[in-house]
Amino acid sequence: MKFSRLILANLFRKKVRLLLTLGSFSVALFLFAFLAVVKKAFTGGAELASARRLVTINRVSIIQPIPLSYRDKIARIPGVESVTHDNWFGGVYQDEKNFFPQFAIDPENQRKVFPELIVPEDQWNNFLKDRQGAIAGARTAERFGWKIGDRIPIKTTIYGSNSAWEFVIDGIYHGKRPEDDETQFWFQWDYFEERVPERLKGLTGWYTVKLNSPDDALRVAKTIDAEFANSPYETKTETESAFAASWVKQFGNIEFLILTIGSVVFFTLLLVTGNTMAISVRERTGELAILKAIGYKDHSVLLFVLAEASAIALVGGLLGLALAILAIPALGTALNGLLPNLILSRSMVAAGLGFALLVGAASGLLPGIGAMRLRVVDAMRRI
């Protein structure tokens, strides 16, 4: 603590340089937080997926339907607790920019298979009685200012003419965990079945299968696919996390992209701050020599340089992360629900601070070692 005044005085020696270095740390940490949040938004589905759920789709592609008649056959397979089916609606609410995912759901089994998405009991009962009823995710309801009882027209772009289907908001669901997707819009399967063209009746988009035990996953998946092998609608069954991961892969290798951008940021920051620290140490060669002459040990000088670099990293990092905490919710709104919840978790903030301190220490290390090895007589000769 008694050396803190010396460290602080050195930090504030060149205020403009200090501000610029803090700025570069802040921007880098903001970018770090943003990339971490986007990566989580893309890959979070796989991480949140239940180990007790399987997804069965048409073997050709998810856009090819599979028969509704498969449901009972799947339900009879040992190890299966319950089965539900969904279909993508892909409608437009007011404007194409207002994207949110809409699904025709099987009300009988939806809550058994997805218990983490909570709908108040009275709202759910109203939904069951209402053919045009719909349940909206809390984020989507908040985004459009929907309330229970509101009538919501959604234009279909896939089924029939470009007409609007009208829904009534009977309930709003919340996720148990902050990361749960609260952007979906569910409506009655019967209403969907009634209005789709004749050729699509009796078909569904996919099944979600809830297992008694995650240990049964491989066996049940194989049994389901074997059951429908050599039929006109062969299936492909995989765990929910594998399904979510392959869904993300459709967008390209997001993880690699984020890792690449992150690495570029890391090394650029390392070079910028390393150069700044090197200049700062070079400017103070004489002063460091004096400190050593009057009895400061080599490792003390190294620690002073590391402390300065780490202090810059910590303050700059905190500023960047604070900026990210403020900006990311606004960013989520601006993205119009294109990505699920953008959540900057505590672990991300901790990782960001760790990253900042690592860069700070690394950038101070080489100049610090130079200062540590400095011979007083050589330094005094240069003054």
State yes or no: residue 15 binds other proteins (CB under 8 A): no
Interface residue with other proteins among 153, 286, 329, 354 (CB under 8 A) is 286
Task: Enumerate residues 190-249 that contact other proteins by CB under 8 A.
Answer: none
Q: Is the torsion defined by CA of 318, 323, 329, 335 positive or negative?
A: negative
Instruction: State which of residues 3, 115, 166, 330 lies at the interface with other proteins (CB under 8 A).
Output: 3
Q: Where are the beta strands (DSSP E) in the chain?
A: 53-58, 66-67, 80-88, 102-105, 117-118, 133-137, 151-155, 164-175, 185-188, 203-204, 206-211, 235-239
Report whether 88 contacts 118 (CB < 8 A).
no
Provide the token pair at 143: 């985004």
- Binding range to other proteins, per CB under 8 A, among 10-18, 101-109, 110-118, 229-237: 10-18
The encoded tokens of residue 172 equal 């709003």
Q: Which residue in 128, 257, 290, 314 binds other proteins (CB under 8 A)?
A: 290
Q: 170: closest CA among 114, 115, 219, 128?
A: 128
Touching other proteins, residues 320-379 (CB under 8 A)? 376-377
CA 292/CA 375 separation, integer angstroms:
9
**For other proteins, which stretch binds (CB under 8 A), given 16-24, 93-101, 205-213, 285-293?**
285-293
Least gap, CB of 3 to other proteins (angstroms): 6
Q: Does 12 bind other proteins (CB under 8 A)?
A: yes
**Identified binder of other proteins from the candidate list 20, 63, 271, 380, rule CB under 8 A:** 380
The angle at the Cα of 137, spanning 136 to 139, to the nearest 5 degrees, equals 125
* Closer CB to other proteins, 149 or 295, in the complex: 295
Instruction: Rank residues 222 and 375 by Cβ distance to other proteins and give the closer one.
Output: 375
282 binds other proteins (CB under 8 A): no
Tokens of 367: 């100049």
**Alpha helices of 201-297 — where are they, by DSSP H?**
217-227, 240-249, 254-283, 285-293
Q: Residues with Cβ < 8 Å from 336, sequence gap 6 or more?
A: 97, 98, 99, 143
* CB closer to other proteins, 5 vs 199: 5
Give whichever of 17 and 151 is closer to other proteins, judged by the CB atom: 17
Query: Which of 258, 291 has the CB closer to other proteins?
Result: 291
118 makes contact with other proteins (CB under 8 A)? no
Binding to other proteins by residue 251, rule CB under 8 A?
Answer: no
**Binding residues for other proteins (CB under 8 A):** 2-3, 5-6, 9-10, 12-13, 286-287, 289-298, 376-377, 380, 383
